[in-house]
Amino acid sequence: MGQGKIHIYEGDGKGKTTAAVGLAVRFAGKGGRVYATQFLKRDDSGELNGMEEVTGITVRRCSKVFGFTFQMSEEEKQAATDYYTAHLHGILVEIRKHCSDVLPLEGQDRNYHAKEGRDQEGKMQQPACMLVLDEVLDAYNQEMISRRELLDFLGAKPAGLEVVMTGRNPAPELLALADYVTYMEARKHPYGQGLAARPGIEW
């Protein structure tokens, strides 16, 4: 308890981003600080507007939108890769700055009973920061971010940082690092009957 974990929401079903946003709101509701960003998405999704209204949540929007990767030219793919790589780097630098010392290092007195996850006053402990990387699994798979930078960060992240990642087909090395893995299965979706994505529901 108090030690930040890594979450993955993956699969072909609806609800990956929804789950991540819900977790972020819950975390902020308990006094935690949340930093959230998205990859490979339009910048006007409803969840971004909603999260920006929640105390404790900081949203880092992508200022550029590149559309669907399968529709991109090679030049557009390179521009998107350069942009998303720099975007990820920037938010990881920010997280290290704000969350690097939220918990003492391993072996030091953390001032709580580790077995029960409570401090000396009996209060439940939680990590101090959360990082939500929505659709980062897809960006990783398509090599539109630095895989090495993300892996290095996850392998040596601040002790009190909770990390949430969403997308499809997580790479084995990311699955190995995760503490929570939830698969969203699509059993039925109106898209199959030709219904387009609806604002407020899909985006």
**Which residues make Cβ contacts (< 8 Å) with residue 186, sequence separation at least 6?**
11, 12, 13, 14
Q: Which fold has domain 6-193?
A: Rossmann fold (3.40.50)
Whether residue 1 contacts residue 119, with contact meaning beta carbons closer than 8 Å, is answered with no
pTM as predicted: 0.83
Per-residue pLDDT of the chain (203 residues; tens, 9 = 90+): 458 999 999 999 999 999 999 999 999 999 999 999 999 987 788 899 999 999 999 999 998 888 777 778 889 899 999 999 999 999 999 999 888 655 433 333 334 333 434 444 545 567 889 999 999 999 999 999 999 999 999 999 998 999 999 999 999 999 999 999 999 998 887 777 887 777 777 76
Within the chain, residue ranges assigned H as helices are: 16-29, 46-52, 74-99, 136-141, 147-155, 172-177
Domain segments of the chain: what residues? Answer: 6-193
